[in-house]
């Protein structure tokens, strides 16, 4: 209780603790981003073999424990196990100069950048909401969105293992309520899913191609459940605008093949996070500007 009282009255301490917590969670998110897709693929392969009643030639690999805790993090080249001192967010990367301490193989800077991104976004949430349940819930959503975004970039998947618990949590939080009331949350979840579902099927009928995945439907449903149906237009417009600009830039400037799909999840996640933070201000500014 003394710690809670102290954090409530000392803004600097709360912000500092939030930043450090964000860095630590960012380190864990690196593990989730790397391992969760592999865990899913191993599970799918095992289920397929069981369904088809065929032998699994890689049974030794699928039976070896592999989860978010096991095995310990190690260098992919020399298999050197990462020690506690080598796993301090951002600082260890800088101290090691971006190289494995054993074989000197370069370490991707993305690990440190994800940790820093998690720390900065957590700090922004703490500053915006202040000490309380809203800040805690917003931090949890922020961390999940970071994981979803990078998994989508790597694999073009938005795992149900993350989106569905977020959806249910948003509906549960509406009972308190933290952000919106229950009716607004339920309508938002249904509207979020159905809106992209309709767009998906219309696009497929017109072009014969699939413009997005079902994970995108579920992610927008998450924002509907957390933020209410009123902010869904903001999320859709922001994500579409940013996605279009980035996509066109990649095609024209970087020469990316336009037939290669671009993951929509990161743009949707960024737009949803912005809507969580300043969605009502954006809505009010638009209504004021348009004279509505």
The tens digit of pLDDT for each residue in 223-246 reads: 999 999 999 999 999 998 888 777
| Element containing residue 174 per DSSP (H, E) | none
Residue 138 CB contacts under 8 Å (≥ 6 apart), including other chains: 125, 128, 129, 276, 277
Q: For 96-142, how does the pLDDT look when each residue is reduced to its tens digit (9 = 90+)?
A: 888 888 888 888 999 999 999 999 999 999 999 999 999 999 999 99
Average pLDDT value for the chain: 88
Please indicate, yes or no, whether the overall pTM of this predicted structure exceeds 0.95: no
Are the beta carbons of 235 and 223 closer than 8 angstroms?
Answer: yes
Output the six-digit token pair for 227: 């933020």
- Give the residue carrying structure tokens 């940013």: 242
- Confidence class for position 76, pLDDT limits 50, 70, 90: confident
Provide the pLDDT for residue 185: 97
- Give the C-alpha distances (Å, rounded to integers) separating 151 from 29, 89, 145: 10, 20, 10
For the cut 60, the answer to whether the pLDDT of residue 60 exceeds it is no
Q: Helix, strand, or coil here: 74?
A: strand
Q: Give the span between the Cα atoms of 26 and 84, in whole angstroms.
A: 15
- The whole-number average pLDDT for the span 199-222 is 87
Concatenate the DSSP letters of all residues of 10-31 into one string: -HHHHHHHHHHHHHHHHHHHHH
For the cut 90, the answer to whether the pLDDT of residue 75 exceeds it is no
């Amino acid at each position: 209780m003394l710690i809670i009282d102290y954090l409530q009255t000392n803004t600097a301490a709360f912000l500092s603790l939030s930043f450090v917590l964000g860095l630590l969670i960012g380190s864990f998110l690196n593990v989730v981003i790397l391992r969760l897709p592999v865990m899913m693929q191993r599970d799918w392969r095992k289920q397929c073999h069981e369904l088809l009643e065929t032998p699994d030639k890689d049974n030794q690999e699928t039976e070896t424990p592999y989860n978010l805790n096991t095995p310990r993090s190690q260098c992919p080249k020399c298999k050197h196990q990462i020690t506690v001192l080598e796993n301090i967010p951002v600082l260890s990367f800088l101290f090691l100069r971006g190289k494995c301490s054993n074989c000197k193989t370069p370490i991707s800077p993305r690990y440190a950048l994800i940790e820093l991104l998690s720390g900065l976004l957590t700090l922004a949430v703490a500053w915006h909401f202040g000490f309380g349940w809203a800040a805690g819930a917003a931090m949890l959503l922020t961390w999940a969105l970071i994981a979803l975004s990078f998994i989508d970039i790597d694999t073009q998947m938005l795992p149900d293992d993350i989106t569905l618990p977020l959806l249910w949590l948003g509906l549960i939080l509406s009972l308190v309520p933290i952000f919106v009331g229950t009716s607004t949350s339920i309508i938002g979840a249904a509207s979020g899913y159905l809106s992209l579902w309709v767009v998906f099927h219309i696009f497929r009928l017109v072009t014969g191609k699939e413009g997005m995945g079902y994970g995108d439907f579920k992610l927008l449903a998450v924002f509907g459940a957390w933020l209410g149906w009123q902010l869904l237009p903001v999320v859709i417009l922001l994500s579409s605008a940013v996605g279009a600009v980035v996509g066109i830039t990649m095609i024209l400037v970087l020469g990316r093949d336009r037939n290669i799909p671009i993951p929509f999840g990161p743009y949707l996640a960024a737009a949803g996070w912005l809507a969580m933070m300043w969605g009502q201000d954006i809505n009010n500014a638009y209504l004021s500007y348009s004279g509505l």
